[in-house]
């Protein structure tokens, strides 16, 4: 029998958030913990996360640490309580900005730096050896670099537009796509 009500909705969201993240190369458990903390009206301790998601202490601790490193959750200490509590950013726009910023820093920027270095290395090839293969490699490196630059430009525009400008920006892009 399918769950219903708030608890069912919470469980469905947590499960789907984890599945979505897994397709993006992010740990399913990390995403499920993030979803749980995002939905929770109060900060949760590691034991709460373990109980609600049925994960080990090691998995909960590792993934909570990763979420802290990403800046998606904050740690809270309570006077007289030795446990650490965790709370996720509740503002969806700020959460989106954090995810984009971190993905750019962790994924896009390293590949851009690698591609730039690859183009430099290809240009170091002695002219006498620069043949069609060298030119093809250089073009492919440059094409991917151009794509990365375009992605960065889109991220910058979306970020600059902000939450208020997102709907008009989406509408304008939809018109361009026709």
How far apart are the C-alpha atoms of 136 and 101, rounded to whole Å? Answer: 32
The predicted pLDDT at position 1 comes to: 54
Q: Are 34 and 53 in contact (CB under 8 A)?
A: no
The predicted pLDDT at position 60 comes to: 98
The predicted pLDDT at position 40 comes to: 96
Per-residue pLDDT in tens (0 to 9) along the chain, 178 residues: 567 899 999 999 999 999 999 888 889 999 999 999 999 999 999 999 999 999 999 999 999 999 999 999 999 999 999 999 999 999 999 999 999 899 899 989 999 999 999 989 888 877 666 678 888 888 999 999 999 999 899 888 888 888 888 888 888 888 888 8
DSSP letter, residue 162: H
Residue labelled with tokens 């994924």: 107
How far apart are the C-alpha atoms of 26 and 17, rounded to whole Å? Answer: 11
The predicted pLDDT at position 2 comes to: 63
Q: Which domains does the chain have, with CATH numbers?
A: 5-88 (1.10.10.10), 92-177 (no CATH)
Q: What are 132's two structure tokens?
A: 């069609």
Sheet of strand 73-77, all strands in order from the earlier edge strand to the far edge? 44-45, 84-88, 73-77
Q: What is the CB neighbour count within 10 angstroms for residue 155?
A: 16
Q: Are 62 and 45 in contact (CB under 8 A)?
A: no
Three-state SS at 71: coil
The predicted pLDDT at position 122 comes to: 85
Q: Which ranges in the chain belong to alpha helices (H)? A: 5-23, 28-39, 46-53, 57-70, 92-103, 109-123, 132-177
The predicted pLDDT at position 51 comes to: 97
How far apart are the C-alpha atoms of 90 and 129, rounded to whole Å? Answer: 57
Three-state SS at 24: coil
How far apart are the C-alpha atoms of 10 and 147, rounded to whole Å? Answer: 37
pTM over 0.75: yes
């Amino acid at each position: 029998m399918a769950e219903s009500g708030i608890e069912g909705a919470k469980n469905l969201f947590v499960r789907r958030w984890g599945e979505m993240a897994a397709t993006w190369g992010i740990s399913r458990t990390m995403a499920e913990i993030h979803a749980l903390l995002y939905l929770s009206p109060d900060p949760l301790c590691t034991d709460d996360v373990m109980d609600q998601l049925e994960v080990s202490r090691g998995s909960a601790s590792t993934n909570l640490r990763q979420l802290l490193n990403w800046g998606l959750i904050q740690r809270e200490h309570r006077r007289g309580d030795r446990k650490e509590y965790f709370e996720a950013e509740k503002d969806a726009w700020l959460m989106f900005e954090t995810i984009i910023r971190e993905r750019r820093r962790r994924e896009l920027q390293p590949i851009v730096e690698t591609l730039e270095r690859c183009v430099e290395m290809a240009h170091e090839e002695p002219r006498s050896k620069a043949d069609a293969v060298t030119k093809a490699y250089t073009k492919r490196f440059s094409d991917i670099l151009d794509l990365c630059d375009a992605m960065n430009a889109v991220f910058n525009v979306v970020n600059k537009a902000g939450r208020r400008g997102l709907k008009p920006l989406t509408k304008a892009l939809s018109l361009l796509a026709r």
